[in-house]
Amino acid sequence: METAKNKQTKNFGLTFNKFSLILLIACVLIPNMAVFGQSDGNDNACVECHKRTVQKDILHGPTATSCTSCHESNGKKHPLADVVGFTLFAEGAELCYSCHTVFKEEQNLKFVHKPVKNGECSECHEVHSSNNKNLVFAKSPELCFFCHSNFDKDREKAKSIHTASYAGDACTQCHKPHASAEKKLLADNSKQLCLNCHNKKIEKKDGAIIANIEKHLTESSYMHKALSSSCTSCHNPHYSSRNLLLTDNLPIGIYAKGVEENFALCFGCHDTDLLNLEKTDSYTQFREADQNLHFLHVNKEKGRNCTSCHDVHAANNTKLIAKTVKFGRWDMPLNFIENENGGTCATGCHKERSYSRGAVK
């Protein structure tokens, strides 16, 4: 028969064994609470499994410091198969805007990049780490070409390419990636944007020199009206099938066949009667009585180019008559002097000659 003493000893043994088992479980689980409990914010435990998220050169700030800045425990055990233990504080772009408030404010601008408008930050940015600054998937322009592939394809066939569209920061030198007050997501007013770079002489790889356009405009009394708001009336900002990024035909040099097609760029604004009418008393101020001197100079097999006399950007003469024009390597002076009824020029082409509109004969 079991005595009270033996029964007490047996109960103590069972209690001790239970306590030992509980202690053992605690010793095993407590060090691993960062994985299963999820509440102590031990980011080292996250990285042990999610090494691929931090393997690139540049870490997203929260990734580098605290995973729980974006992820929060939903109370389920983690990691377990088919169990999602964490959720995001917010969905999509709203999660990003919880820190990047300035980009949310930019959506109030007039023009918003479509992925930004749709809240698709991850179309361009990696979430945890990247090999590129700003956590983008690729550097510009390759990143932009993922969507705007036509620019890459057409550029391969171009005769002239705007260096700024693929060198340095490429697209983002001229365009804002998120939103802008300007059309085409431009970073500034179109004309000013061009002058931000064309405010100095630029030497191209082929040795050609692009003049300081800003200086030329500042020092001139008259500016081509086409330049009043934008340079893109005449120049394509990315690439062109023609020289000098031109949007339409205009010959290079002094001479060209005098047909409309060759001067299509100018005739996009100016009347073709300047070229085609031999006699006129209204279509041009450059005439001897009613003899159209544009027709005389241009409408022939070896016609004079528009740029043989006119500066396409600006000049100190009302009709944009240039001070000098390039004739090979020579800066040929035009020596044009305007008067009330005509003018006089004495170029390297011919001796001094004058014209007078006078009375029509």
DSSP string for 21-68? HHHHHHHHHGGGHHHHT--S--HHHHHHH-GGGG-SSEE-HHHHH-GG
Residue 47 structure tokens? 């990285």
- Over residues 56-69, the pLDDT tens digits come to 999 999 998 889 99
Phi first, then psi, for residue 197 (nearest 5°) are: -105, -40
| This prediction's pTM | 0.80
Phi first, then psi, for residue 172 (nearest 5°) are: -75, 0
For residues 279 and 304, the answer to whether their CB atoms sit within 8 Å is no
pLDDT confidence tier of residue 33, bands split at 50, 70 and 90: very low
3-state secondary structure 75-95: CCCCCECCECCEEECCCCHHH
- Over residues 196-233, the pLDDT tens digits come to 999 999 998 888 889 999 999 999 999 999 998 889 99
Nearest CA-CA partner of 320 in 230, 197, 220: 220
Name residue, tokens 């000893």.
9
